[in-house]
Amino acid sequence: MMAKQQDRSQHSLFFSLESTLNHKHPLFILANKIDWEMFEREFSPLYCPDNGRLAKPVRLMVGLLILKHVRNLSDESVVEQWSENNYYQYFCGEQEFQPRVPCEASELVHFRHRIGKEGVELIFRESIRINGKDSNDKDVYIDTTVQEKNITFPTDDKLTKKIIKRCRKIADRNDLELRRSYRRILKKLSYDQRFRNHPRNKGKARRADKKVRTIAGRLVREVERKLGSRVDDYRDELDLYKRVLAQKKKDKNKIYSLHEVDVQCISKGKEHKLYEFGNKVSITRTGSGVIVGALSFRNEFDGHTLDKAIEQVEKMTDRKPRNGICDRGYRGRSKVRDTLIHIPKSFTKALSTYRKNKERKYFRKRAGIEPVNGHLKEDHRLSRNYYKGITGDEINVMLAAAGFNFKRMMNKWKSSFWLFLEKIFLFLNRQLYPIRDSIILQTRKKWAF
C-alpha cells in the first residue's frame, strides 16, 4: 500500500534537522533542488492504494538509491550509514533525527524491481535537469567502456566443478541416491591439475581436466534419469549444464557463469587486462562535463550503438545534438538521425585550415571522456555490477551516471561555499588590520626604554 508523503511544514518543538544543519552543505542544497513531487507522482501508480502493508515513502527509497551511487556504497552500507548521518536523513525527507535503520537492505532490491528501467530513467533525467544549462551543449562526446559483472574469472574446470556441486544439491533436495559421489577421485584429480604450466605436468593436467568433465556429464545424465516426472522442474538448469559441458574453446556465445548466463567476453585492447567479462556500455557527455546518455549493450560494434545513444540524448534533454564526436572505433558512420558524427581521420588538401583546427579541437576535447569513465568505475559503482541479469546491467549504468551528475553539482556548490568563506575571511582581515596595528603600537610604547 502506498505510503503518504511526509508533511515537511511541521517541525519539532525542541529539535529540527533543518534548523541545525549547515544550509551551505552540498547535500542540504541538493535535497532542496530535486523535484521529489515528480517521483511521488510517477511512482504512486506502482502501489496498491488501499491494500497491503504500508510501504516506505518514495522519497526515502529514491534518496537511498541516489546516496548509494553518489557515495559508492552497498545496499547494506547506505542503510547503516543513514541511521548515523543527519544529512542523509534530511536528504531522504526526515525532519527529526531517527536513531534506527530506515528499512531492510533487501527492500532496495524490491524497489529497483518495482520501478524498473523506466523509473531509473526518471532519476537519471532529474540528475541532468539539476545541472541546468551545462547539459544543453550542441556538441556531445561519445565513448564505450566495459561494465564488468560480479563473477570470478571463468575457467572450464571451475564451471565443471560447479556443475558437479549443483547436481549433488539437486539429488539431495529430491532424495536421489547416486551411484557414486566421486568426492575422493575429484580430490585426487585436483592434485593432478596443479602446476599445469610445468612441462612435466601438462599432459597429466589435461587428462585430469578431461576426467572431471566426464564425471560432470555422468552426474547430469544420472540426475536427469532418476528425476523421472520431476525432470521438467529442472529442465532449464540441466540444459544449461549440458551446454556448458559441450562448448569448445573457440565456440561463439559461450557460457562464462552459471548464475549470469548473459555475460560477454569483451576485449578492448588493454595491455593490463586483455579480457573483461560483463557487457558494453555507451557514455555520452557534453563539453561541460554532464553525462546526458548512458546505455547498456551486449557486445556490439561501437558504430551500431550510435542510433540508440543519440535517441536517448534527445529523450533526456528534449533537444537534438548538432555534432557527435567519437573515436576511430565508430568508423563507418557519418550521420545519425540529425547529428553529424566526427571521427579522427587523415585530412585532405581540400579541407580548409579553419576546418582542420576545428576538427583537432574536437578530438582533443573528446579525450576528456576517458577520465569520466574512470570516475564512473571507481567512484560510482560501474567497475563491478552487482545487479542481476540484463535489467541489472541497464539499471546500474544509469544510476552510476546519475550519481556522477549529482556529485558534479555538489562539487560546484562545495567550491562556491569555500570561496564565500574566503571572501568573509578577507573582509574580516581588512577590518581587523587597523585594530591590530594600534595594539602593536601601544604595546611598543609601553615597553619602550
224-264 pLDDT, tens per residue? 999 999 999 999 999 999 999 999 988 988 999 999 999 99
Domain final residue pick, 131, 166, 198: 131
Closest to 18 (Cα-Cα) out of 98, 99, 90: 90
What span, in angstroms and rounded, lies between the C-alpha atoms of 177 and 180?
9
Is the same domain home to 181 and 227?
A: yes
pLDDT in tens, 321-373: 999 999 999 999 899 999 999 999 888 888 899 988 988 888 999 999 999 99
Q: Cell numbers for 287, please give them.
A: 563539453
Helix (H, G, I), strand (E, B) or coil at 143: strand
For residues 198 and 308, state if they share a domain: no
- Residue 407: inside a domain, yes or no? no
Neighbouring residues of 333: CB distance < 8 A, sequence distance ≥ 6: 303, 306, 326, 341, 343
Check residue 436 and give its pLDDT: 58
**Is this structure's pTM higher than 0.75?**
yes
Same domain, 378 and 352: yes
On whether residue 41 sits in a domain, the answer given is yes
Residue-by-residue DSSP string for 263-276: -EEE----SS-S-E
* Lookup: cell for 444: 611598543
Contact 291, 405 (CB under 8 A): yes
Residue 4, pLDDT above cutoff 90? no
Instruction: Tell whether 34 and 118 lie within a shared domain.
Output: yes
3-state helix, strand, coil in the chain (%, to 5): 55, 10, 35
Quick one: 235 and 163 in the same domain?
yes
- Alpha-carbon span 312 to 328, nearest angstrom: 22
Among 174, 337, 149, which Cα is nearest to 256's?
A: 149
Torsion, CA 327, CA 329, CA 331, CA 333, rounded to 10? -80
Q: What is the mean pLDDT of the chain?
A: 90
Quote the DSSP letter at residue 153.
P
**Residues 268, 145 within the same domain:** yes
Do the strands 139-149 and 335-336 form a parallel or antiparallel pair, or are they unpaired?
unpaired
Same domain, 147 and 160: no
Q: What is the rounded distance in angstroms from the CA atom of residue 225 to the CA atom of residue 218?
A: 11
User: Do 205 and 145 fall within a single domain?
Assistant: no
Which domain-ending residue is among 365, 386, 407? 386
Domain boundary (340, 370, 386) is at 386
The answer to whether residues 220 and 359 belong to one domain is no
Grid coordinates representing 307 are: 542510433
Per the domain annotation, does 408 fall within a domain? no
pLDDT level of residue 46 (50, 70, 90 thresholds): very high
pLDDT for 13 equals 47
Element (H, E) at 291: strand 291-297
Q: Is residue 360 part of a domain?
A: yes
Say what the alpha-carbon torsion angle 182, 184, 187, 188 is, to the nearest 10 degrees.
-110
**How many domains, the chain?**
3
Mean pLDDT (whole number) for 366-390: 95
Q: Which residue range(s) make up the domain with 226?
A: 156-246
Domain annotation covers residue 419: no
Residue 448 within a domain: no
Do 231 and 295 fall into the same domain? no
Residue bearing the bigger pLDDT, 12 or 162: 162
367 is a domain residue? yes
Mean pLDDT confidence for 123-127: 97
Residues 111, 178 within the same domain = no
Residue 435 domain-assigned (yes or no):
no
Asked if 220 and 329 sit in the same domain, the reply is no
Which amino acid, residue 63? Answer: G
